[in-house]
């Protein structure tokens, strides 16, 4: 059983005893908690005594009356803040001094409980404080162990996989219950949609495999002299089916020499992602320009489009895992939000850099700079 220590600072003995009695056998459970929390109460009759208790007993939570004989509650609150103690402070105040309680909350108290309170009111306040303490601690712990990212990653991932599974299950149920008729033809659309969702999941899984390999450094590079122009040209071919549907023109411009020492599958990741995005997020009848230039010490790849563009504030998040910009213009466009983050990771393994500029409804320019290693 996990234990939280609550320090009650109040000059009225019956309040302290009452709180002790109410919380003595109280437990807080929460689905994510490994075990329920119970409470140990320590008491102080004055602010000065409270500060002594803070130092000697290290409480997790303080229930703090403001009107005390010596120093006031807010001064104890200030002390906790100044010492940067990791303690949740909750003010207990009479209704008359509600204004003060609001101020204390602004000064760093987590909440306040108006006096007089019923046992149930106290319990529900303690329950919400306990959950808060638990979540803060868990987040800290996950951050410290580097698991925070993993946790976020897995929760988004499971969400991404759950949605298509639910959809497919729905379509299968329609068939099982023969909701649309007895003929297989009646379900053509349901089958098509299910296939689409399966395709989406497969892409997601392949993307994840790419990403895990790159991140774990397990992916061995097969470095060869490549002609980047021909890799770009086959990425353009790959994007053609969608480009034709949207009537988007694709142009490739290069300097005369586009040779570069790299792994071809990784350069394919770079071009495929940039070009497929430039087509996907384009307007009907728009265009995409792919530009490759080899300089003395680097190769520059620039993919510009005449598409929907992005707002300035979205640009910074773009390269994070699973980030998709959600608005009216992107609502109908499908994707996993992994393409750019994978691409960036690849580029970074070559000590390269990715940059983007964009204007809403005008278009975007993605620039990749890959340094040429001194031989
Ligand atoms: N050329 C572009 N123009 C406008 N928005 C873009 C462009 N490229 C990317 N974006 C925005 O950035 C987001 C992230 O792109 P990213 O390629 O990582 O994922 P995605 O295209 O949604 O999915 P996928 O993993 O299938 O590529 C997109 O969802 C889109 O909102
Ligand atoms: Mg993409």
Domain of residue 235: give its range.
223-371
d(CA 237, CA 229): 12
- Radius of gyration for the alpha carbons in the chain, expressed in angstroms and rounded: 30
To test the pocket of ligand 1, the residue of 275, 277, 315 to mutate (highest count of ligand atoms within 8 Å of its CB) is: 277
Whether residue 61 has pLDDT greater than 90:
yes
User: Tell me, what's the pLDDT at 369?
Assistant: 98
- Convert the pLDDT of each residue in 186-210 to its tens digit: 999 999 989 988 988 888 787 777 7
d(CA 363, CA 360): 6
Contact 290, 303 (CB under 8 A): yes
Per the listing, tokens 């910009």 go with: 325
- Give distance in angstroms: CA of 146 to centre of ligand 2: 27
- Convert the pLDDT of each residue in 107-141 to its tens digit: 888 888 888 899 999 999 999 889 888 878 877 77
d(CA 51, CA 73): 11
Q: Is the same domain home to 165 and 185?
A: yes
d(CA 237, CA 48): 76
- Convert the pLDDT of each residue in 338-368 to its tens digit: 889 889 988 999 999 999 999 999 999 999 9
- Give distance in angstroms: CA of 254 to centre of ligand 1: 24
Whether residue 79 has pLDDT greater than 60:
yes
Q: Is the same domain home to 177 and 310?
A: no
102 band by pLDDT with thresholds 50, 70 and 90: confident
Least confident segment among 31-40, 60-69, 237-246: 31-40
375 band by pLDDT with thresholds 50, 70 and 90: very low
Q: Is the same domain home to 136 and 152?
A: no
Q: Is the same domain home to 134 and 246?
A: no
Query: What would the two tokens of residue 171 be?
Result: 């379509």
Contact 23, 126 (CB under 8 A): yes
Q: Is the same domain home to 111 and 197?
A: no
Least confident segment among 109-113, 127-131, 158-162, 330-334: 158-162
Q: Is the same domain home to 240 and 335?
A: yes
- Give distance in angstroms: CA of 273 to centre of ligand 1: 8
Neighbours of ion ligand 2 (CB under 5 A): 277, 335, 339
Q: Is the same domain home to 186 and 111?
A: no
Beta strands in the chain (DSSP E): 2-9, 27-28, 37-44, 61-65, 88-94, 111-115, 223-227, 249-254, 259-263, 287-294, 298-305, 353-359, 363-371
């Amino acid at each position: 059983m996990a234990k939280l220590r609550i320090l009650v600072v109040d000059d009225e003995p019956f309040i302290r005893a009452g709180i002790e009695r109410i919380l003595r056998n109280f437990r807080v459970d929460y689905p994510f908690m490994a075990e329920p929390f119970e409470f140990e109460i320590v008491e102080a009759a004055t602010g000065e005594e409270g500060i002594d208790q803070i130092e000697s007993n290290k409480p997790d939570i303080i229930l703090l009356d403001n009107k005390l004989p010596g120093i006031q509650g807010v001064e104890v609150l200030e002390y906790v803040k100044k010492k940067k103690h990791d303690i949740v402070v909750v003010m207990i105040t009479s209704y008359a001094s509600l204004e003060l309680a609001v101020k204390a909350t602004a000064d760093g108290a987590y909440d306040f409980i108006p006096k007089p309170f019923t046992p149930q009111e106290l319990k529900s306040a303690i329950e919400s404080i306990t959950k808060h303490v638990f979540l803060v601690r868990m987040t800290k712990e996950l951050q410290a162990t580097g698991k925070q990212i993993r946790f976020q990653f897995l929760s988004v991932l499971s969400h991404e996989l759950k949605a298509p599974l639910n959809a497919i299950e729905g379509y299968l149920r329609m068939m099982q219950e023969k909701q649309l008729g007895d003929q297989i033809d009646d379900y053509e659309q349901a089958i098509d949609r299910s296939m689409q969702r399966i395709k989406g999941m497969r892409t997601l899984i392949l993307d994840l495999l790419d990403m895990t390999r790159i991140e774990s450094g397990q992916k061995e590079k097969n470095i060869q002299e490549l002609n980047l122009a021909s890799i770009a040209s086959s990425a353009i071919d790959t994007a053609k089916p969608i480009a034709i549907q949207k009537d988007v023109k694709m142009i490739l411009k290069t300097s005369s020499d586009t040779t570069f020492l790299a792994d071809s599958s990784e350069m394919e990741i770079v071009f495929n992602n940039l070009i497929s995005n430039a087509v996907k997020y384009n307007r009907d009848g728009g265009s995409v320009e792919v530009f490759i230039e080899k300089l003395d010490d680097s190769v520059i790849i620039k993919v510009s489009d005449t598409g929907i563009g992005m707002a300035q504030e979205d640009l910074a998040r773009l390269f994070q895992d699973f980030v998709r910009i959600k608005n009216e213009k992107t609502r109908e466009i499908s994707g996993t939000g992994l393409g750019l983050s994978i691409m960036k990771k690849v580029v970074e393994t070559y000590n390269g850099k990715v940059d983007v500029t964009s204007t809403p409804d005008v278009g975007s320019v993605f620039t990749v700079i890959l340094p040429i290693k001194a031989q």
